[in-house]
């Protein structure tokens, strides 16, 4: 199976676009930031869908896809916290969950020499809520306000799903 396929290309493109996204935010081109982030979020959905539909899943893709997601989400949350777009405690929560999951995976791998982390429904829901929150915030910035009045709700839903999914991954790792 070839590593040169559309899903892996989309995943690689997401990683390459992260510095462009960061530059857009630094230079206060929030419109470009929104377009880039939205494209990244949609391509995340599409690469998995295409890989499954066309039977183009590869070991490289299984590794790169979550890495691309984490790079984009962590970078976004750090920048958004620095600029005051999201609460710092939420950024700490998101990053702490990821550190705990990776640390748990490493411990399991070194102890058993076979640790495979499969995404859970809660983990996917947490990632989706994080993406939705970030897109909503970028939309709010571009439209100059909390246009639906749900930003606080999205923050707390994201925090809840992030914590619950982290606890779920710990439970799965220990059982």
Q: What is the pLDDT of residue 1?
A: 53
Summarize pLDDT for 52-67 with one digit per residue, the tens: 888 888 888 888 888 9
> pLDDT exceeding 90 applies to what percent of the chain?
63
Report the distance separating Cα 13 and Cα 161, nearest Å.
27
Tokens of 8: 């892996």
Q: What is the pLDDT of residue 79?
A: 97
Is the domain 6-174 a CATH 1.10.3260.10 member? no
Q: What is the pLDDT of residue 2?
A: 65
Q: What is the pLDDT of residue 55?
A: 87
Report the distance separating Cα 104 and Cα 112, nearest Å.
12
Task: Map out the domains of the chain as residue ranges.
Answer: 6-174
Summarize pLDDT for 66-83 with one digit per residue, the tens: 899 999 999 999 999 999
Summarize pLDDT for 96-152 with one digit per residue, the tens: 999 998 898 888 888 888 767 778 999 999 999 999 999 999 999 999 988 889 999
Q: Are 60 and 8 in contact (CB under 8 A)?
A: yes
Average pLDDT, the chain: 92
Q: Are 72 and 10 in contact (CB under 8 A)?
A: no
97 burial level (CB within 10 Å; 0-12, 13-18, 19+): buried
- Pick from 58, 56, 24, 55: nearest CA to 40: 24
Residue 94, pLDDT > 90, answer: yes
Average of per-residue pLDDT across 160-175: 92
């Amino acid at each position: 199976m070839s590593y040169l396929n559309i899903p892996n290309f989309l995943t690689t493109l997401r990683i390459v676009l992260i510095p462009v996204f960061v530059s857009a935010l630094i230079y206060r081109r929030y419109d470009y930031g929104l377009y880039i982030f939205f494209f990244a979020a949609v391509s995340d959905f599409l690469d998995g869908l295409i890989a499954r539909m066309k039977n183009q899943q590869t070991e490289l893709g299984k590794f790169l896809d979550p890495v691309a997601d984490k790079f984009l989400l962590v970078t976004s949350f750090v920048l958004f916290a620095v600029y005051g777009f999201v609460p710092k405690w939420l950024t700490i929560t998101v990053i702490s969950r990821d550190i705990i999951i990776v640390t748990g995976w490493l411990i399991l791998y070194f102890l058993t020499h076979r640790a495979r982390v499969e995404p859970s429904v809660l983990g996917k829901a947490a990632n989706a809520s994080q993406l939705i929150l970030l897109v909503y915030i970028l939309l709010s910035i571009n439209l100059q306000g909390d246009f639906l009045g749900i930003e606080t709700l999205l923050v707390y839903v994201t925090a809840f799903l992030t914590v619950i999914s982290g606890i779920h991954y710990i439970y799965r790792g220990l059982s």
